[in-house]
Each structure stands twice: as structure tokens, then as C-alpha cells.
């Protein structure tokens, strides 16, 4: 089943075209990687898919229904969750409370939300930190927390925006394992990443964005060898 369809979406900010005719389909249970040099428009795509921006042109369909014009919380209710490139925890709330906010997406009952949040925290490996205020968590833990919050909303598709940036190799390995566990639960994933080996290892399919346009798409190995992709990365500097 096709979960998400971005159908030729374009986003213009004044004179700047951030995204141009972008097409993407994500099926249930897939892991799709979204890569491209800095400024390629990847996060803008995420903003468009999750309802933070409306596309200037084109349509976005989630589970068959157009979500253009829907507010982010409505899209989340339908089953699409996301993380942010710069982690956005609720700093004055504990880890548990952070995740409870997500859990409330599926229940109105406080006790049920608390139980669900506790479960999800365990799942991402933050069980021992549940009562720690988010402001006291390390970057790596905050990233897990954000993923937990997204998971608690009960998504069918989770958008991860550079969850590995700023992490050391050990932490990266741990996150890769976590992403695999999430996937094993049946959640489809669309991952923006700069850590190449992670994207290559995890993705079943990769889409490459450059200057707001798709320049390549396919299995990781094919994309890695694609001369246009290599040029896009090398040509745009370090």
C-alpha cells in the first residue's frame, strides 16, 4: 500500500524556488533515504510533507487523502510523525512527559498515555531517564527522546531529519540499530541523513535532491555510483 505520495510539489519563497517538482512515493513498511548536499531542500520537503509549509504547487497524499492545507497536528493524527533537524524537546518537561504528549495522539486517558510513553521510552533505550527534565539530557538522548515522542504518536510513517548529526560513531551505531527496531515494528521511514554509511545501510531506496530537484533515485548501490550524484556532492564543496 502506498502511504505517502508527493506529486510534483513545488515550493517557492518569494523569488527562491526551494523545491521544484518533487515526486516521491513511500509504501508501507519501506525505508527510504533522502540525501543531497546542504541547501538541497530536504528539510523543506519534510516541512511540506508534515504540514508546516503548504506547497506552492502540487499535491501531497497520505493514505490516499490529500493533506495539502492540513495542519501539522492533523497530519500527525493520520499517522505521519517527524523529528526536527535541530532537536526540539520540551525542555522543562521530563522525558516521560515529553513522550506522553505524543502518546496523547492515540488516547485521551492520562494513565494510558503514561503507560504508553513509558513503553516507548524503554523501547528507545531511555527507560532509566524517564524522570529527567529534558534540558538535562545529552544530545544523543535528546535525539532518542524526539524519536520516542514521534513513535508514541503511533505513526505509520516516521520522518527522521538528520538524527545522527553531532553523534559519535558508537552513538551512530546505536541509532542505526534503533531505526532497525522501529522498522521491525512495521513503521515506514523516510530518512534525511548526511552520515552516508547509515543511509546506505538502512535504506531500501534512496532519493537524491539537489537544488530542490530529484537528480537520482534507486537502490543505494546504484545511487552511490551515479555520476550526477557524485558531481552534486563534490561540485558543491566540502
Partner 1 sequence: MAAEAWAGLALALLLAAPPFLPPYFLEILISVMLFGYLGAAWNILGGYAGQFSFGHAAYFGIGAYTSTLLFLRLGITPWLGMVAGGVLAAAFGLFAGYLSFRYGLRGPYFSLVTLAFAEMLRVVAVNTKAAGSSLGLVIPTRTPAPLDFVFAGKLPYYYVILAMAVGAVWITRRLERSKLGYSLRAIRENEDAAEAAGVDALGMKLRAMAASSFLTALGGTFYAQYFAYIDPTITFGPAVSIQGLLQAIVGGAGTVLGPLLGSFVLTPLSELSRAALRGRAGVDVMVYGLVLMLVISFLPQGLMGALRRRPRPS
Cβ distance to partner 1 smaller for residue 2 or 88: 88
Which parts of this chain interact with partner 1 (CB under 8 A)?
50-52, 71-74, 76-77, 81-82, 84, 88-93, 97, 100-102, 104-105, 108-110, 113, 131, 149-150, 152-153
**Cβ contact 144:125 at 8 Å:** yes
Contacts of 237 (CB under 8 A, 6+ apart): none
d(CA 16, CA 32): 27
Cβ distance to partner 1 smaller for residue 73 or 181: 73
Shortest distance in whole angstroms from residue 139 CB to partner 1: 16
Cβ distance to partner 1 smaller for residue 51 or 220: 51
d(CA 112, CA 154): 13
Shortest distance in whole angstroms from residue 228 CB to partner 1: 33
Cβ distance to partner 1 smaller for residue 66 or 74: 74
d(CA 146, CA 151): 9
Shortest distance in whole angstroms from residue 122 CB to partner 1: 18
Contacts of 132 (CB under 8 A, 6+ apart): 94, 95
Quote the strand ranges of 152-204, DSSP E. 157-161, 188-192
Shortest distance in whole angstroms from residue 129 CB to partner 1: 11
List the helix and strand counts (H, then E) for the chain: 9, 10
Beta bridge partners of 216: 208
Shortest distance in whole angstroms from residue 61 CB to partner 1: 19
Shortest distance in whole angstroms from residue 131 CB to partner 1: 8
Cβ distance to partner 1 smaller for residue 152 or 167: 152
d(CA 67, CA 63): 10
Cβ distance to partner 1 smaller for residue 109 or 122: 109
Amino acid at each position: 500500500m502506498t502511504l505517502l505520495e508527493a506529486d510534483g510539489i513545488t515550493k517557492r519563497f518569494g523569488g527562491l524556488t526551494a523545491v521544484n517538482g518533487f515526486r516521491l512515493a513511500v509504501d508501507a513498511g519501506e525505508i527510504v533515504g533522502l540525501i543531497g548536499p546542504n541547501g538541497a531542500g530536504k528539510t523543506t520537503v519534510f516541512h511540506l510533507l508534515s504540514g508546516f509549509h503548504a506547497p506552492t504547487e502540487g499535491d501531497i497524499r497520505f493514505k490516499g487523502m490529500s493533506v495539502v492545507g492540513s495542519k501539522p497536528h492533523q497530519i500527525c493524527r493520520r499517522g505521519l510523525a517527524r523529528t526536527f533537524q535541530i532537536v526540539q524537546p520540551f525542555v522543562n518537561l521530563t522525558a516521560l512527559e515529553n513522550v506522553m504528549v505524543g502518546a496523547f495522539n492515540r488516547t485521551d486517558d492520562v494513565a494510558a498515555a503514561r503507560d504508553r510513553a513509558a513503553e516507548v521510552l524503554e523501547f528507545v533505550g531511555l527507560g532509566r531517564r524517564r524522570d529527567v527534565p529534558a534540558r538535562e539530557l545529552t544530545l544523543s538522548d535528546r535525539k532518542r527522546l524526539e524519536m520516542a515522542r514521534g513513535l508514541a504518536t503511533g505513526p505509520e510513517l516516521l520522518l527522521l531529519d538528520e538524527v545522527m548529526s553531532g553523534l559519535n560513531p558508537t552513538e551512530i551505531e546505536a541509532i542505526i540499530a534503533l531505526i532497525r527496531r522501529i522498522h521491525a515494528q512495521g513503521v515506514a521511514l523516510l530518512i534525511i541523513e548526511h552520515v552516508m554509511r547509515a543511509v546506505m545501510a538502512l535504506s531500501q531506496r534512496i532519493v537524491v535532491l539537489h537544488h530542490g530537484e530529484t537528480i537520482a533515485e534507486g537502490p543505494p548501490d546504484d545511487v552511490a555510483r551515479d555520476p550526477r550524484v557524485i558531481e552534486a556532492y563534490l561540485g558543491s564543496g566540502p
